[in-house]
Structure 1
Amino acid sequence: MTDDVCVLLPTYDEAATVADVVTEFRDHGFTNILVIDGGSTDDTRERARDAGARVEIQSGSGKGQAIREAVREHVDAEFVLMADADGTYRASDADAMLEPLRSGTAEHVIGDRFADMHDDAMTGLNRVGNTIFNSLFSLIHREDFGDILSGYRAFTVDSFKRLRLSADGFGIETELAVECARHGVRTTVVPITYLPRPDGSNTNLHPVRDGGIILMAIYRQAKTSNPLFYFGSAGVASGLAGGLVAAYVAYDWFANGISHNVLAIVAGVGVILGVQLLIFGVLSDLLVTLHGETLDRVEALEREMPAGADTSSEEATEKGVTPTKDEGCVGPPEQ
């Protein structure tokens, strides 16, 4: 059964591969295939339509904006199976990706490319970068999603709409992982095969530029998930810098009798700022912990409360009817 699934393929200049990708998904029984195009300068859109896909042109730019717009405005199914249109993912992995959603065990599924990655599928620099980003994400957000930068995902439309997404470019995968961890979206990881890009297909990913964007996205969103790391790391850096400057000032004073008044002030400011940031990080982490515990208690109370138990008085008030004494309210004295 594939009527409940929309296959979402964001594209930009993917004429060399998009038709083959659409055809492969159609051969596996998927008929609802949506290509959201970011203004390709080649014939990507024409080839996608000829292969049987529905094509929409995004109003903005970037992969993240394309995905947000597609899901919120053009998807009419319960589940979304998102993949790249570059031929690096296999449609044969789709059933494994969708099974946790259909069984109700997960709301968001990430395809782990490292489970079966072909030798030429990723450069050595990209492998190192992915390893660093995944480790940093696990440290900050206390979740191990295996491969947070994977472009092969499956999720429910309802869970997607609960996420606060703003990334426009390739940072969207990182933001999806962060938001799933933050909002408690049930997420699971499924092993998939990751293939090298076919000949003639050029990547739109720039390792250094997009790697920097991803790194900043992971760090920036730590301020609400792990504020102790966010402020603490800045505090440690400031404190260490101040300490090193102070050590130089002290050495030059005792060894050569040369004073550095300005550097001494800079060192003091650095150390004090570092201590303040660490304290602020500890207090912020405490607030986040207490907030999470409060939300857990509220959700537990909502689950325990019988359906409709507290609605009768509200409904009566809306209709202009005064509750009787039996309902726990004191009415006017009887004549």
Structure 2
Amino acid sequence: MQLNKKVSVLIPAYNEDRFITATLQAVKSIPEVDKIVVVDDGSQDMTVELARAEGVTLIVSEQNAGKGGALNLGAELVKNDDIIVLLDADLGLTAAEARKLVLPVLANQADMTIAQFPRIKHKGGFGLVKGLAHKGIKYFTRLEMQSPLSGQRAMTKDVFNKILPFASGYGVEVALTINVARMGYKVMEVPVQMTHDLTGRNWKGFVHRGKQFKDVLKELFFLYFKKISN
């Protein structure tokens, strides 16, 4: 295992002041991590102030660009590092589990790892978005993904730079998995004990999942028409 490689963590954040401090402290506990970059995506709470207090590299966007847009803003600061880790800001202390994603990439066992979350007892939605993502990834790559929407990933510099720019909206994870696998890179799901803030079965949750479904479907249609036109 090559331990002299530089590992950077890129975290997009939007109104995550409930979790950001714990998330960053957990990431800082990972011995292999050299750099942490937080991209605040137009937050209206205390996310910026709390992230700054943790001493990480901070990019502040005045407008909300969405997850893909935030990742693209931060890409310039990490693209030359050996391994890049993408994490959500709402993982809290479970962000320390990201080390399980880093180690297989350091050991050249995978080009990109994806966090496989544990099964949850109380689901927020009805599984429509996850089902669409699962079927879309399987159609394009034949991969059976247990956590097709997981945004927690570690990848080599080569992979990271080949897939830039990130897709917009909530389709970023599905597009990333499909594009990386179709380029011939080795993709591996890694079981982790991570948790994040789940949307509930309320109006806000249904609106969020509706946007997810639309964005994932949009990316799948784009990839399909790109495939048949080649």
Residues 21 and 92 in structure 2, CA contact (< 8 A), matched pair in contact too? no
Match of 1:212 among 205, 211, 214: 214
1:22/1:2 CA distance change after superposition, 3 Å: farther
Counterpart AA for 2:159? S
TM-score normalised over the length of structure 2:
0.83
Pair 1:118-2:120 in alignment = yes
Pair 1:85-2:89 in alignment = yes
Name 1:318's counterpart in structure 2.
Answer: none
TM-score normalised over the length of structure 1:
0.59
Pair 1:46-2:49 in alignment = yes
Residues 110 and 154 in structure 1, CA contact (< 8 A), matched pair in contact too? yes
Larger radius of gyration: 1
1:124/1:2 CA distance change after superposition, 3 Å: farther
1:112/1:94 CA distance change after superposition, 3 Å: same
| Superposition pairs of residues 69-218 of structure 1, within 5 angstroms | 69-71=73-75, 73-75=76-78, 76-87=80-91, 90-113=94-117, 116-120=118-122, 122-125=123-126, 127-163=127-163, 165-197=165-197, 206-218=208-220
Structure whose residues are more often helix by fraction: 1
What is the Cα deviation at residue 109 of structure 1? 1.0
Structure whose residues are more often strand by fraction: 2
What is the Cα deviation at residue 89 of structure 1? 7.4
Name 2:17's counterpart in structure 1.
Answer: 15
Residues 22 and 52 in structure 1, CA contact (< 8 A), matched pair in contact too? no
What is the Cα deviation at residue 64 of structure 1? 0.4
Q: Deviations over 1:108-164 (max 9, x none)?
A: 111112xx13324x4132x34312320232024333333221011001122111125
1:177/1:15 CA distance change after superposition, 3 Å: same
1:48/1:166 CA distance change after superposition, 3 Å: closer
What is the Cα deviation at residue 62 of structure 1? 1.3
2:169 is paired with a residue whose SS is coil
Q: How much identity, in percent, do the aligned residues show?
A: 25
1:47 is paired with a residue whose SS is helix
What is the Cα deviation at residue 3 of structure 1? 6.5
Q: Deviations over 1:149-184 (max 9, x none)?
A: 101100112211112545222211111012112222
Structure 2 unmatched ranges of 5 or more: 199-203
CA distance in 2, matches of 1:161, 1:176: 12
CA distance in 2, matches of 1:197, 1:2: 34
CA distance in 2, matches of 1:173, 1:180: 11
CA distance in 1, matches of 2:92, 2:51: 17
CA distance in 2, matches of 1:196, 1:74: 25
CA distance in 1, matches of 2:166, 2:81: 23
Q: Deviations over 1:205-259 (max 9, x none)?
A: 810122111122113212334x3xxxxxxxxxxxxxxxxxxxxxxxxxxxxxxxx
CA distance in 1, matches of 2:56, 2:145: 31
Counterpart AA for 1:101? V
2:155 is paired with a residue whose SS is strand
CA distance in 2, matches of 1:26, 1:164: 26
Q: Deviations over 1:40-92 (max 9, x none)?
A: 11121110111232111248611102112312x11152111111111267233
1:2/1:51 CA distance change after superposition, 3 Å: farther
| Superposition pairs of residues 215-294 of structure 1, within 5 angstroms | 215-225=217-227, 227=228
Name 1:254's counterpart in structure 2.
Answer: none
Pair 1:37-2:40 in alignment = yes
Match of 1:68 among 69, 72, 84: 72
Residues 113 and 155 in structure 2, CA contact (< 8 A), matched pair in contact too? yes
Structure 1 unmatched ranges of 5 or more: 228-283, 289-335
Residues 64 and 166 in structure 1, CA contact (< 8 A), matched pair in contact too? yes
1:185/1:139 CA distance change after superposition, 3 Å: same
Name 2:201's counterpart in structure 1.
Answer: none
CA distance in 2, matches of 1:15, 1:68: 22
Residues 111 and 192 in structure 1, CA contact (< 8 A), matched pair in contact too? yes
